[in-house]
Structure 1
Amino acid sequence: MLLEIEHLRASYGKAAALEDITMHVDSGELVAVLGPNGAGKTTLLKAISRSVAGQGRLDFDGASLHGLPAHAVVGRGICHCPEGRRLFTELTVKKNLMLGAYLRNDRVAIERDYQRVCELFPILRERASQIVSTLSGGQQQMVAIGRALMGAPKLLLLDEPSVGIAHRLKVEIFNAIRTIREGGVAILMAEQDAQSALRIADRVYVLEHGHVAQSGTAAELASDNRIQQIYLGVA
């Protein structure tokens, strides 16, 4: 297993956000985390990237992540594309992308990865010198995903990549996520668009009130009546 989590707990003050989360992600696997607002999806990803403190077993690639600062987690091979994108909006597209490689010094490989990001999202090559704040929401999301890829991740954490994006660009982004996984990068994706997530995921965890309420393959959950009613809008 690439990522192993056992009995993970996290809280904000006295308010528990995660309680007893146990899950895993294998190398090259795309795992989706579904759940309503407040279920703990964002906190889960933040606990993995160490931007939120958590207790419990949290191992990546055979070593514990506990006690590591967030930048050291990036150095281990986990890159987080957060909810809301968190871009440097007054910088250009290319500068934002290159900031994703700030821990790296392998210039040839950095340029190679930059070209791969531009192949994945061709519009970013066209807009390389454009200020990010002038892009559409969907294009900014492409920059955010591309910036995370510039860190050369073994595991990519994606938090709500489809929120606030036009349908056409949402389709393009989910196709790109599938391509990233096919290239060998493991992905853990928190997403509210269950239908799109189930189409591309290998496995799924459903969070409710900070707990894993259900898990299984994407095919199993897509045919589950409860999942259909709650998340897919099927009566």
Structure 2
Amino acid sequence: MVPLLEVHDLEVRYGKALAIEQVSLTVEAGEIVGVLGPNGAGKTTLLKAISRAVPARGGLTFKGEDVSALPVHEVVGRGICHCPEGRRLFPELTVRKNLELGAYLRRDRAEIAADMERVHTLFPVLRERGSQQASTLSGGEQQMVAIGRALMGRPALLLLDEPSVGIAHKLKMMIFGAIEQIRRDGTAVLVVEQDAVSTLGIVDRVYVLEHGRVVREGTAGALKDDDYIRQIYLGV
């Protein structure tokens, strides 16, 4: 069976600096896959390369089709939506308008309305805050808007970059719970995180990225018992 996403020997350079080197990974339909690693490991670059936000060499197939040469908007149209690090909202626009912008490539109004309801069910506070400017929300609420906006593109694969950074613990737990619900609703997720404990609690498989290369991979259960992972990432 062909993986939903297959990345093969991916390489990204910023000038002469090698950011990603020979990275290979897969995401199956219905999976949550995690990418762990320290700052500067290349995690954000990896997601940008998959979404075609930065140029890369190597193989990149989605639903069995080569997408390595497609522009960003066509990748979105194929079903890969990227929720970037730092949320990147339009702060002067309302919550609802930010969410609607996630569906900018779509014309199926009834289905767009259904997806808006799905986002509101996933994050009820966004229904209440719909008319507020995004800049007035807490960090955790802004992260919910960012995830919701990506879901409005109706992705088959959602790329999440550091969704828990800089937010209160309670809202962090809500967001990790929402990621599990997103998977139950049929969307595969590739999530980059530094919070190894929370990530290993929700993912099926994990890749560990260090210095631009994959140094460990396996099921969440196996990596929880890996001495290196326990020492470096779990602190036990």
Bin the TM-score by the shorter chain: over 0.9
In 2, Cα distance between equivalents of 1:149 and 1:49: 15
- 1:100 equivalent to 2:105? Answer no
- 1:229 equivalent to 2:231? Answer yes
Match of 2:158 in 1: 156
Query: CA RMSD for the aligned pairs?
Result: 0.5
In 2, Cα distance between equivalents of 1:132 and 1:66: 33
1:200 aligned counterpart, secondary structure: coil
Residues 78-114 of structure 1, C-alpha deviation per residue, up to 9 Å, x if partnerless?
0000000000010000000000000000000000000
Amino acid at match of 1:109: E
Superposed, 1:45-60 pairs within 5 Å as: 45-60=47-62
Match of 2:207 in 1: 205
The structure 1 residue matched to 2:67, chosen from 57, 65, 68, is 65
Identical-residue share of aligned pairs (%): 67
Match of 1:6 in 2: 8
Tell me by how many angstroms 1:229 deviates. 0.9
The structure 1 residue matched to 2:77, chosen from 66, 75, 78, is 75
Residues 96-150 of structure 1, C-alpha deviation per residue, up to 9 Å, x if partnerless?
0000000000000000000000000000000000000000000000000000000
**So what's the TM-score if we normalise by structure 2?**
0.98
**So what's the TM-score if we normalise by structure 1?**
0.99
In 1, Cα distance between equivalents of 2:65 and 2:93: 36
Match of 1:86 in 2: 88
The structure 1 residue matched to 2:174, chosen from 162, 172, 175, is 172
In 2, Cα distance between equivalents of 1:66 and 1:5: 10
Amino acid at match of 2:59: R
Residues 145-200 of structure 1, C-alpha deviation per residue, up to 9 Å, x if partnerless?
00000000000000000000000000000000000011110100000000000000
1:45 aligned counterpart, secondary structure: helix
In 1, Cα distance between equivalents of 2:88 and 2:193: 17
Amino acid at match of 1:47: A
Amino acid at match of 1:61: K
2:189 aligned counterpart, secondary structure: strand
Which consecutive segments of 4 or more residues in structure 1 shift more than 3 A? Answer: none
Number of matched pairs: 234
Match of 1:133 in 2: 135
